[in-house]
Amino acid sequence: MSGSAKPLRVAGLADLHVEATSAHPYRALFAEISQRADVLALCGDLTNLGKPAEAEILAEDLRTCAIPVLGVLGNHDFECGQAEKVAQILQQAGLRLLETQVQEIDGVGFAGVKGFAGGFENRMLSAFGEDAIKQFVAEAVNEAMRLENALRSLGTERIVVLLHYAPVVGTVLGEPEQIFPFLGSSRLAETIDRFAVTAVLHGHAHHGSYAGQTMKGIPVYNCARWVAKPSGEPYALIEI
């Protein structure tokens, strides 16, 4: 960051899991975040079952947010096969969905995708054997390629990446080791390390660790709302 660039305060929050029976579940929290941050970054699992009715409830609260809201979807948002409708509802309420376009706010570029599973480092699943395995790995590779294309389109000095799935093992520590392969993929980190990324935010690992880093040393933050954070709040507060 150049000496004259003004820091941007980003609030990262993931795994909202809004249910159809919820009543203004995040209105007060969004009001607080609007006072403390310049941008709200939502890192997936915005709804619990991917139902449009759940998205409508979250949309009501999003409309009260006084700062820009960026985000990506999570696996829960696809559960009912209505992810496009969920995305449409939330976009109409002001969410800037990074999976369809990059964004620039006050000199900071934002790119994001949902990501996918597959494991980390030398234990990543490889595209070998049955077609089902190859298709699984292809999904992880495609998500990494989509992220690469988004990052290539940014020309800003500072870049923030939003994901749902974790790109590094460091931020899933605390979860049962048996489920690590389903929490993220190092293919995402390999892509991120090819660019001058300032920080990465993700969710999904509810019982993981707050901070980690890629092999290149880029900081990664787990913004799942259950993860303990230095802010003492359900959201991370990061200065970019």
Residue 3 belongs to some domain of the structure: no
Q: Give the angle 130-165-197 at the CA atoms, nearest 5°.
A: 120
Q: How many domains does the chain have?
A: 1
Quote the pLDDT of residue 3: 56
Return the CATH number at 106: 3.60.21.10
Residue 2 belongs to some domain of the structure: no
Residue 157 belongs to some domain of the structure: yes
Residue 45 belongs to some domain of the structure: yes
Residue 177 belongs to some domain of the structure: yes
Residue 1 belongs to some domain of the structure: no
Model confidence, pTM: 0.95
**C-alpha to C-alpha distance for 235 and 240, rounded to whole angstroms:** 15
Residue 79, domain extent: 9-239
Quote the pLDDT of residue 5: 79
Query: Which residues of the chain carry a pLDDT beneath 50?
Result: 1
Residue 113 belongs to some domain of the structure: yes
Strand order in the sheet with 108-112: 103-105, 108-112, 158-162, 199-202, 219-222, 211-213
Closest by Cα among 237, 240, 203 to 35: 237
Residue 152 belongs to some domain of the structure: yes
Strand order in the sheet with 95-97: 95-97, 69-72, 39-43, 9-13, 236-239
